[in-house]
Structure 1
Amino acid sequence: MKSLSLASACLIALLSLPAHAADTVPLKKSDGVLVDGKGMTVYTFDKDTANSGKSACTDRCAANWPPVPAGDAAVAAPYSAVTRDDGSKQLAYKGKPLYTFVKDKKPGDKTGDKVMNAWHVVGD
């Protein structure tokens, strides 16, 4: 009976653990950079201030540099979410909002790196 109680306690403890951040964040590392769930390269923008809670890339900028959506999933450090002007949530890494680039056509493209010397791929 004691082993059943111990097994039950372990199962309860396991089920009560929060989900791991990697399970809730739709990013992964590929060839040394972060990519979204479709394998598209993720970028940061120098005009964004880390931990400001907002994005400096709006309107036409956001049309060319689509924000990586945070959705409703819980995120944990080093990830966070910022609220955009339209109320949507954008994923951030180490406090900096994340974007993809419309000119990247296939997974692994990095054509946005160093554009205007302000956009950078996100390494880990």
Structure 2
Amino acid sequence: MKPWFVAVLTLALLAACGQNAAVSTRTVAGIGTVLTDSSGKTLYFADQEAGGKVVCTASCLAIWQPVIATSDPVSGNVPGKLATVKRPDNGKSQVTYDGKPLYTFQVDGGPGDAKGNAAKDTFGGVSFSWHAATTGGAAPDNGGGSGGTTY
């Protein structure tokens, strides 16, 4: 059975059980196995949020959307640790992977896109370096990122 099929089947079963199936995986060319949200979009983290400290707030959220948990995050095939951290701006629980808060990228068109990998931008005086979250940690810099704040 193909790994992507297992991931889709696992998500369907977890959703049918009424659990929060927030994170799964898929293979993205040039990057490897990336974490995805329930709709298949690539998930990212920023170096500046090491240790679970959320600093992407306000205008940053127009480009980087936090993955919000409605219950404890569940995964059928992600090898790292899923948990949550309370956001300082609205008190919602944001999903983390190995302590790193996770986001989707507004510019990604859908499943399989990873345009935010190696992106660098600045919001509220904080310079961010973004990486696609992979099962091996950070994705390699494949030159696919935006490289600046012009999206």
TM-score (norm 2): 0.61
1:123 to 127, 134, 137: 134
Looking at structure 2, the residues matched to 100 and 29 of structure 1 have their Cα atoms a distance apart, in angstroms, of: 14
Q: Given that residues 75 and 81 in structure 1 are in contact (C-alpha distance below 8 angstroms), is that contact kept between their aligned partners in structure 2?
A: no
Q: How does 1:70-109 map to 2 (within 5 A)?
A: 70-73=69-72, 78-85=81-88, 86-109=90-113
How many aligned residue pairs are there? Answer: 101
Of all paired residues, the percent bearing the same amino acid is: 36
Letter in 2 for 1:112: G
Q: Given that residues 67 and 100 in structure 1 are in contact (C-alpha distance below 8 angstroms), is that contact kept between their aligned partners in structure 2?
A: yes
Q: Specify every segment of 5 or more residues in structure 2 that has no aligned partner in the other structure, as ranges.
A: 1-13, 28-32, 121-127, 136-151
Report the counterpart of residue 67 of structure 2 in structure 1.
68
Q: Given that residues 45 and 118 in structure 1 are in contact (C-alpha distance below 8 angstroms), is that contact kept between their aligned partners in structure 2?
A: yes
**What is the CA deviation profile of residues 38-61 of structure 1, one whole-angstrom value per residue up to 9, with x for unaligned ones?**
0100000111022x4x31100111
Looking at structure 2, the residues matched to 71 and 121 of structure 1 have their Cα atoms a distance apart, in angstroms, of: 23
Report the counterpart of residue 26 of structure 1 in structure 2.
22
Q: Specify every segment of 5 or more residues in structure 1 that has no aligned partner in the other structure, as ranges.
A: 1-18
Q: Which SS does the other structure have where 1:48 is aligned?
A: helix
Q: Point out the structure with the larger helix share.
A: 1
TM-superposed deviation, 1:74:
5.5
Letter in 1 for 2:97: Y
TM-superposed deviation, 1:24:
4.2
Q: Point out the structure with the larger strand share.
A: 2
Which protein has the larger Cα radius of gyration, Structure 1 or Structure 2?
1
Looking at structure 1, the residues matched to 58 and 41 of structure 2 have their Cα atoms a distance apart, in angstroms, of: 21
Report the counterpart of residue 9 of structure 1 in structure 2.
none
Letter in 2 for 1:121: A
TM-score (norm 1): 0.73
Looking at structure 1, the residues matched to 110 and 20 of structure 2 have their Cα atoms a distance apart, in angstroms, of: 24
Looking at structure 1, the residues matched to 43 and 73 of structure 2 have their Cα atoms a distance apart, in angstroms, of: 19
1:40 and 2:36 correspond: no
Letter in 2 for 1:28: S
Looking at structure 1, the residues matched to 74 and 39 of structure 2 have their Cα atoms a distance apart, in angstroms, of: 19
TM-superposed deviation, 1:75:
5.5
Q: Given that residues 82 and 98 in structure 2 are in contact (C-alpha distance below 8 angstroms), is that contact kept between their aligned partners in structure 1?
A: yes
Q: Which has the higher contact order (CA 8 A, sep 6+)?
A: 1
